[in-house]
Amino acid sequence: MFDFEPRLIDLANEAELSLRDQFARIDALSYDRQKGVLSAFAEEQVSTACFAPSSGYGTDDLGRDTLDRVWARVFEAQSAFVRHNLVSGTHTITVALFGLLRPGDVMLSVSGTPYDTLHGVIGLSGKPGTGSLADFGVQYEEIALKEDGEIDLAAVKTRLLKGDVKMVYLQKSPGYSTRRPLGNEIVRALRALLDETGSRAILTVDNCYAEFCEEHEPPYYGADICMGSLIKNAGGGMAECGGYIAGKEEYVDLCAQRLTCPGIGTELGATLGMTKSIFKGLFYAPHTTAQALKAACFAAALFEKIGMRVIPGAGDPRLDIVQQISLNDPELVEAFCGGLQAASPVDSRATPVPSPMPGYEDQVIMAAGAFTQGASIELSADAPMRAPYTVYLQGGLTYESAKLGILNAAHAVLRSKGSRG
């Protein structure tokens, strides 16, 4: 295994050589963000007592309450809560949407149509009566991105001036589209636009895949609320499950009332021994995210040299950990995912195949030989089986293991192309 042809090794060496400045920027960012995490741990006096499990109601759980305060400090937010029983990023976002929106409210997505798994939550797909926002009378509108993939701020301004928008919703990562990720500068721009128009809409940011990729998190730039999954960047490869919501105290509190029930919010909830892994994950998060960012840069540079279209490009700013690689061929998608799976530490003998998946309109293929099931911060790749047959690569607990996986995927793609002439 890992007996790569000399041509591929030469391309890999050239790719790494071209990334020296990019890697240095990522290391500097990781160092700065690590300082913020360590400072928060010290300021909130994290101790071994915080790792003790609670059961039942979880009354006065020191670790849970301390973790919430640490998280708020790291995210420079008024408030936050972190819970292991938020089962996915989609569930976390759903808790926020249902916590903040009421019948008759208007939710305005300014980054086009959200990720596939939210379609049923909003009511864009699925049967009526299943409990979507639409079933509860929440109205949904969206503004398409401009041709260059940027937010259409002029169109957003026009809509805000008409009034009645309760929530402005931004998805930073591209999902299964082929646009570029959106950074926190657009959060700043949207906050300025809300202030200019006098709108009281809640600026809500899906922060999945983007934590620790920039100098600060969305609340610093004016987001009212942001949320994400712990088995992506923010869990550092250590958290086994969970999600977080952070932002202004009044909005975090509304989301907490939805998570549990009105009158309880964040005051109850047994941690069942999960707190230590979440603390540890947050500690590792800046470094682990840096490893994943380096892996994405390497994949971009290598596949550019092979002749594939990649988004972002190898030298582009990194605003999330997702690397798009357009293979334009379903067989090459399967070859890529098979090569990546074969280089995984877990289930390396498995063969990824396209399959129906809950929440997705197309069959999806996934390579995910991870220690934690579905953990996107571990090296994985997935693709909807539709044109232009783009693979979405993300993660890498260590750059070295990610490099090997990416090389094995490239080897499999080149071999598949070669076998067909």
The CA-based dihedral angle spanning residues 152, 228, 321, 418, taken in that order and rounded to the nearest 10 degrees: -100
Per-residue confidence (pLDDT) for residue 256, from 0 to 100:
98
Question: What is the arithmetic mean of pLDDT over 289-303?
Answer: 98
Pairing of strands 106-109, 139-142: parallel
Q: Where in the chain are the domains? A: 6-33+286-419, 50-282
Per-residue confidence (pLDDT) for residue 420, from 0 to 100:
62
Per-residue confidence (pLDDT) for residue 177, from 0 to 100:
87
**pLDDT tens-digit readout, 18-38:** 999 999 999 999 999 999 999
Q: Does an H or E element contain 380, and which?
A: strand 380-384
CA 305 to chain centre: 27
Question: What is the arithmetic mean of pLDDT over 366-383?
Answer: 95
- pLDDT bracket for residue 418 (50, 70, 90): confident
Choices 2.60.40.10, 3.30.230.10, 3.40.50.150, 3.40.640.10: CATH for 50-282? 3.40.640.10
Provide, rounded to the nearest whole percent, the portion of the chain with pLDDT above 90. 93
CATH of domain 6-33+286-419: 3.90.1150.60
Mean of pLDDT over the chain: 96
Residue 361 has pLDDT above 80, yes or no: no
Q: Which of 160, 141, 215 is nearest to 185 (CA)?
A: 215
Domain 50-282 in the same topology as domain 6-33+286-419: no
Q: How many CB atoms lie within 10 A of CB 279?
A: 23
Residue 173 has pLDDT above 80, yes or no: yes
Residue 358 has pLDDT above 80, yes or no: no
Q: Lowest-confidence range among 233-247, 299-313, 357-371, 396-410?
A: 357-371
Measured between alpha carbons, how far is 333 from 353 in angstroms, rounded to an integer? 10
In the numeric block, which tokens belong to residue 336?
């890529």
Per-residue confidence (pLDDT) for residue 176, from 0 to 100:
86
Residue 213, CA distances (Å) to 240, 288, 358, 395 in order: 21, 11, 29, 12
In the numeric block, which tokens belong to residue 141?
């509108």
Q: What is the pTM of this model?
A: 0.96
Per-residue confidence (pLDDT) for residue 359, from 0 to 100:
67
Residue 360 has pLDDT above 90, yes or no: no
Helix, strand counts (H, E) of the chain: 11, 12
Find where tokens 């090794």 sit.
Answer: 9
What letter would DSSP give residue 188?
Answer: H
Burial class (CB in 10 A: 0-12, 13-18, 19+), 43: exposed
Question: What is the arithmetic mean of pLDDT over 377-394?
Answer: 95
Type of residue at 305:
K
Per-residue confidence (pLDDT) for residue 175, from 0 to 100:
87
Residue 421 has pLDDT above 60, yes or no: no
